[in-house]
Amino acid sequence: MAPTAIILGSGTSNGVPTLGRTYPPEFLADPRNHRTRASCLLQGPEGNVLIDCSPEMRLQLLREGVQDLAAVLITHTHADHIMGMDDLRAFCLKTGADMPVYAAPEHQDDIRRVFPYAFGQFPPGIFVPRFDLREVTSTLELGGLTIRTAYVPHGPVRCLVVRVNDFCYATDLSDIPDEALPLFEGLDTLVLDAVRYRPHPNHFHWDRAVEWAERLAPRITYFTHLCDDYDHGPVEAGLPPHLRLAYDGLRIPL
């Protein structure tokens, strides 16, 4: 199987449709408007690498027929990016090994605080997820893929950006500092945060995301971490072909 990135979830922290809101039937009729929380899978020649564990991680991996994970990368520890981590227990049970989880030191602290039981001692027969927390280096070799990394600001916290070959996944960011630019240059495909139309203190909103997409000039940009501002069909119909909206299940060759 050729190396592929799968957009597991393209939605903002609320998910789309969002609880408590009503939508026109035409909006709901388009499956691309049903957005689970943001996550991406890298399918390498030697294994699968999961970027973030959304609250829908279990359903996302079942949907895509994913049977095994080589490692998990955590971009940051907002709830929509880690609340599926408990379900990693299924893979730990299957392999009998701790799941390698790559995260920044402050994100590792959050994971220990939110999932203390994953690091505790339990009697035989009690199955909990086990995380082998590892440091994120500027280059990682995982699943047979060479993964380049950098951190970008996401409001007051930082978020991991991941690049494989000429593909870059950049969810949850409010700026691209000069030191992170090498990850964004010379791309074929960029997946980029564009949370909503109105400005947001912690995210790229639409105008800013488009501005950066045009400046960085990959062959194609898919916008992700989308709220319900975006009705997929009508929005894409008004865009040039190099600007697209991501959707759950989108597959991108690496």
Cβ distance to Zn ion smaller for residue 172 or 228: 172
Q: Using CB positions, name the residue nearest to Zn ion.
A: 78
To Zn ion, the closest distance from the beta carbon of 68 in angstroms equals: 27
Cβ distance to Zn ion smaller for residue 38 or 70: 38
Q: Binding mask 76-115 vs Zn ion (x if CB under 5 A, - otherwise)?
A: --x-------------------------------------
Stretch that binds Zn ion, among 50-58, 134-142, 166-174, 207-215 (CB under 5 A): 166-174
To Zn ion, the closest distance from the beta carbon of 182 in angstroms equals: 23
User: Could you give the CA distance from residue 106 to residue 2 in angstroms, rounded to a whole number?
Assistant: 34
Cβ distance to Zn ion smaller for residue 27 or 204: 204
187-246 residues near Zn ion, rule: CB under 5 A: none
The tokens describing 162, both together, are 């991941």
Interface residue with Zn ion, options 172, 193, 228, 248 (CB under 5 A): 172
Stretch that binds Zn ion, among 103-111, 131-139, 141-149, 165-173 (CB under 5 A): 165-173
Stretch that binds Zn ion, among 3-11, 23-31, 55-63, 169-177 (CB under 5 A): 169-177
The residues that touch Zn ion, with contacts defined as CB under 5 A, are 78, 172
